[in-house]
Structure 1
């Protein structure tokens, strides 16, 4: 098993018991570090969703409901308790829903996808346009402008529920990961930072672009975003500041 295959298996089964993966991990310090990072992410994700309700909450709610026939001051006290308990349930449920939404968000899944594709960051030879166009066609998308000259990697990947074209560009020699999701447009353009990765999510005319890099360089992101706007949306030479 080589490093690229290990990272792909790690992304699909981060806690898988495959002996071949264990043997490779014991022999390769880089992949062992990626495995440790993947386990940390899995534990953090499960921990975020594990929200316990206060002890005895159900009993307190039932008690508040059963005291409606008591004197007015007792009724008010227990009604207040019932309202407080209901508020706790709503807040707890809202917190769980928010964490679940974050766990399923494209930027979160993009970062979680990187351990299985980390080897792609080492590739430096520019690609021809044909394999890139074929990957876009496999996702029922098309290039409407010239391919960025510094594209060094392309692969058709499923990132959670998102069907993406995974690319790598190297502006100024530094790798920038690009995930393009056709026919899915994010509401806003935003930046983010997760687990050592800096990212930008960008709505395009025909889909969404997510860029990731392990270095913070706005100039690199700007250059890659502009190049793919031209290639995907066919916007000619318009600058990002004009959009």
Structure 2
């Protein structure tokens, strides 16, 4: 098993125990580090669903129900405890819902997808247009303009529930990951940061573009965004800031 296959399997099965994967992990320090990072990410997702109730809440509610003296006082106390419990449930449920929404968000899923595809960043030979057009066609999408000449990788990938075309562009010699999600439009163009990755989410006419770079310099994002706007939407050569 080579590093690219290990990372792809890790992205799909972060808890996988395949003997070939385990054997490769033991002999490859970089893949072992990627495995550890994937486990930490999985643990953080699991922890988002664990919202503990206040200590002693059940005992206080039972005590209020069992006490017969000073009925009016007990009733008021019971109501107060019930309101407190309801408030905690609402707040806890809101926190869980927010974490769940974040865990399902496209930028989060894009970053989580990268351990299995990290080897693609090392590819430097530009691709011909035919395999890229074929990948778009497989996702029922089309290129409406010229392909950026710095495209070095293409693959159809499932990123969570999203069916994407995964590409890599190298506008300045450094890799920028490009994920195109056809027929899914984000609400706004925005930059983000997740787990050491810098990214940008961009709504296009027929889908959404997500760009990722594992370096702080985002200057290449404008060039990459403009190149894929032209290729996917068939727009003119105007500056990104004017779009």
- Which TM-score tier does this pair reach, normalised by the shorter chain? over 0.9
**Map of 1:30-179 to 2, 5 A cutoff?**
30-61=30-61, 72-179=72-179
Q: Give the distance between the partners of 2:12 and 2:168, measured in 1 at CA.
A: 21
Q: 1:63 Cα shift?
A: 6.1
Counterparts of 1:131 and 1:206, CA distance in 2: 20
1:171 Cα deviation (Å)?
A: 1.2
Superposition deviation, residue 26 in structure 1: 1.1
Per-residue CA deviations over 1:200-223 (Å, capped at 9, x if unaligned) read: 111111000000000122320111
Q: CA RMSD in A?
A: 1.9
Structure-1 residue corresponding to 2:225? 225
Residue 188 of structure 2 corresponds to which residue in structure 1? 188
Counterpart CA distance in 2 for 1:77 and 1:102 is 37
> 1:65 offset after TM fit, Å?
7.3
1:2 and 2:5 matched: no
TM-score (norm 2): 0.94
- Report the CA distance between 1:236 and its aligned residue: 1.1
CA distance in 2: counterparts of 1:95 and 1:9, whole angstroms: 31
Which residue is equivalent to 1:15? 15
CA shift for structure 1 position 47: 1.4
- Listed as ranges, the gaps of 5+ residues in structure 1 are none
* Counterpart for residue 207 of structure 1: 207
Aligned pair count reads 243
| 10-19 vs 74-83, greater mean Cα deviation | 74-83
- CA separation in 2, counterparts of 1:128 and 1:69? 84
